[in-house]
Structure formats: C-alpha cells, structure tokens
Amino acid sequence: MVRLNEIRDGEVAVEPPEATDAGLVFIGRISTPWTSRLECPRQGRQDGPLCTIEVFEPWVAALDGISKYETLEVLYWLHESRRDLVRQSPANDRTVRGTFALRTPVRPNPIGTSIARLVSVEGNILTVQGLDCLDGTPLLDIKPDRSIFVPIALPQSGDFDTA
C-alpha cells in the first residue's frame, strides 16, 4: 500500500521545528520511468530500468574518475515527501514503527540513497540501474559505493582506533 500524503491509523505526526538552512545544493536531476509515487519501486534493483542522472554545472568536472566504479551510491532529495511523521504504518494495518527504523521516504530530512550500477558516462549524463525515485527528483550527491571504495589518502591515526 502506497501513501501520498495521508496519515494512516496509528501514525503520529509532530509539529516539526522550522527548517534551518543546511546549505544543500541540488547538483543535478534524475530521470526515471516513474511519474507517480504509486508506481515507483520500493527499493531500486540493479537489473531495473535504465535511469539517467544529469549533473549540472559547475559540478561536471567532479565526475572525473567516476567511470572506474561499477557501483555508485546516489543520494537524492525525495522532494514530494511529508516530513513530520515519527511513527508510521508501512502496511497501513495499524502496526507502527519509528521513522528511523524504516527506509520510508517520509522523514524529517527526506534523503534517499541507492546503490546504483553504473552503465555509462557521457559528458554530464550518467546512465544507471538501481534507482527508485520519481522522474525529476533532485540529485544531492554521488559517491563510489563504500563496499568497493578503497581510500586513496594515506591512513591516519583514527583508522586504527578500536573499542
């Protein structure tokens, strides 16, 4: 069961504090086949439809070196989400869980992340598989998939700290 912006039985909304400016910049735009939240996948899959990520200037130079990674972590702003629920009922069955125990798009800061398979890079356009967001979703960041990224900088002392 998919929600648009309704509150379900048992869910709890709060009066959120006024938004402060974290200084986020939308660095691009994601194009996907999905024009309604009711059609999007719950989570992207790496054999899913081809999607494109357009990176805006002045950030295009920041793509240098990205093609060596097979998978990328893509962060995006789930711009149609409400942001005030602390307990939610994903199945709309009166069973609720805390927002931070879910990967719901409805969160105080509606940041979505997916591990996407990089298919191609042509100029400022990345073609990927593995996204689950609406067509037109604003792009926040792209990073190499942490599970394959090896730090390039020299180790520093904290790297060796353990409990």
Task: Out of 27, 48, 88, 132, name the contact with ligand SAM by CB under 6 A.
Answer: 132
Question: Which tokens go with 156?
Answer: 């520093």
What order of strands is seen across the sheet that includes strand 12-13?
12-13, 85-88, 97-98
Near ligand SAM by CB under 6 A: residue from 31, 113, 124, 127? 113
Q: Which is nearer to ligand SAM, 40 or 85 (CB)?
A: 40
Site for ligand SAM in 71-90 (CB under 6 A): 78-81
Query: Residue 55 or 133: which CB sits closer to ligand SAM?
Result: 133
Smallest Cα–Cα separation from 19: which of 83, 75, 113, 105?
83
* Radius of gyration of the chain measured on its C-alpha atoms: 18
- CB atoms < 10 A from the CB of 108, how many? 16
Residues that bind ligand SAM (CB under 6 A): 2, 37, 40-44, 78-81, 103-105, 112-114, 132-134, 137
